Amino acid sequence: MSSGAGSEAVVGRIRTRAIALGVLASAGGFLFGWRAGVSLTICAAVVIFSFLVFEKLTARLIRPSGKGGLRTALPLLLVTVAGLVLLGIVFPWEAFDPVAGLVGLSVVVLAIGAEVFERPGEA
């Protein structure tokens, strides 16, 4: 297995774990109330989308296709900007639950941390 294929497998596992953790955490957040559920879901969605955008941008930088560099990256960058604008709106919202928001922002970190426990040759 080449290094590129190995790193793609790692990123794929992190992506899958982040989405699964986001869904589970979001469902759990609603058990504590609608404010916690909405705050957690929005923050988790923004951080997961940001991770996916980062993944696509780095793939394009590592393997450039040769066509329209900024033009092909612009939609990805706009998604990130939209996510940051959404967070800017949500953070000052009166009903925002900061603890739930922090949990939502940490789903990708938890997914990356879980990779430490992955045994070589698994997956």
Give the residue, 28 or 55, on which the prediction is more confident. 28
50 domain residue, yes or no: yes
Asked if residue 123 belongs to a domain, the reply is no
Q: Is residue 20 part of a domain?
A: yes
pLDDT tens column, 12-43:
888 899 999 999 999 999 999 999 999 899 88
Q: Can you give the pTM of this predicted structure? A: 0.76
Band (1; pLDDT cuts 50, 70, 90): very low
Any domain includes 101: yes
For the stretch 82-93, pLDDT in tens is: 888 887 888 788
Range of the domain at 70: 3-115
Listed in sequence order, the residues at least 6 apart from 114 whose beta carbon sits closer than 8 Å to its beta carbon are: 17
Residue 55: band (very low, low, confident or very high) from pLDDT cuts 50, 70, 90: confident
Q: Can you say how many angstroms the Cα of residue 44 is from the centroid of all Cα atoms in its chain?
A: 7
Report yes or no on 121 lying in a domain. Answer: no
Long-range contacts of 53-58 (CB under 8 A, 24+ apart): 53/77, 53/79, 53/80, 55/11, 55/15
Q: What does the pLDDT read at residue 121? A: 60
The pLDDT of residue 123: 52
122 found inside a domain: no
The count of structural domains within the chain is 1
Find tokens 């990256």 and name the residue: 73
C-alpha span between 38 and 103 (Å, rounded): 12
**pLDDT of residue 46 exceeding 60:** yes
120 in any annotated domain: no
Residue 18 near residue 108 (C-beta atoms within 8 A): yes
Long-range pairs of 32-37 with CB within 8 A, sequence gap ≥ 24: 32/97, 32/100, 33/97, 35/95, 35/96, 35/97, 35/100, 36/97, 36/99, 36/100, 37/100
CA distance 85 to 8: 30
| Residue 29 located in a structural domain | yes
Across the chain, what does the average pLDDT equal?
A: 81
